[in-house]
Amino acid sequence: MRASLSRRAVVLSALLAASCATEEAAPPATQLVAPLDFSYLLPLPLNVASIEVEQRYFPQGVPPDVSRLDPVQPVVALRTMAEQRLKAEGTTGRAVFAITDASLIQQGDVVTGTMSVELDIFGASGTREGYAQATVVRQLAGVTGDLSAALYPFTRDMMAQMNVEFEYQVRHNLSAWLLPSGAVPSPVQATPLTPAAPGAQPLAPSSPVPLAPGPPAAIPLGPGAPVPLAPPPA
């Protein structure tokens, strides 16, 4: 009886030790955090019939890659951005949102994050008719302690920068396929602009040339407004 109890105690002790080892080996990225959400930002309606999201970058999963320790992995955050912000509101053609880089690389106490995406527009014939690229690179220095806790706000800040850069590149390079909210889609005829180099910083808008002031008390007319007639003589 005692031998049976001893063997049972040994088995229970082994199981408990294995359970503790498993918990210690589990990456801290499993902790519960609020998912990143971008639905509050303005949507980008495209004159295409469908939008596809492709993941062309796959994390290595082993050091120096530390993206697996991120509570919200960059590839997931970029996919969420595409799904929440890009809207297909056309009748023909398609758009492909590709994730080409979403890495978190640690060297010493410095983590370098790189995010790169591409948006391609294909016409009804399947020919690529335009594209835009956006890249964001940031570094997090002095990383100590819980790496998972440091990566979450780091990824959140990178995504805030990516949303700004991505929207700028889309508006700058794919304006011919970008619809205003509530607009009726029509066939695209314009030739897309040549996209800026990946990671290019938004250009500052040029200052408008001031117009000469009109005559005193003049009422500016809107486009297409009728010209007021002079009052008949008394």
pLDDT tens column, 92-113: 999 999 999 999 999 999 999 9
Q: Answer yes or no: is 95 within a domain.
A: yes
Average pLDDT, the chain: 78
Distance CA(171)–CA(189), nearest Å, equals 17
Q: What is the rounded CA–CA span in Å between residue 66 and residue 114?
A: 12
Residue 217 lies in a domain: no
Which range of residues forms the domain containing residue 156? 42-177
Domain contains 118: yes
| Between 121 and 188, the higher pLDDT residue | 121
In a domain, residue 126? The reply is yes
Give the chain's domain count: 1
How confident is the model over 211-218, as a mean pLDDT?
41
Q: What pLDDT is attached to residue 184? A: 54
Residue 224 predicted with pLDDT over 70 = no
pLDDT tens-digit profile of 111-123? 999 999 999 999 9
- CATH classification at residue 79: 3.40.50
Measured CA to CA, the distance from residue 48 to residue 186 in angstroms comes to 10
Question: Can you give the pTM of this predicted structure?
Answer: 0.67
Q: Is the pLDDT of residue 127 over 60?
A: yes
The reply to whether 2 falls in a domain is no
SS (H, E, C) 139-190: EECCCCCCHHHHHHHHHHHHHHHHHHHHHHHHHHHCHHHECCCCCCCCCCCC
46 occurs within a structural domain: yes
3 assigned to some structural domain: no
State the DSSP string of 198-226.
TTPPPPPPPPPPPPPP-STT--PPPTTPP
In a domain, 67, yes or no: yes
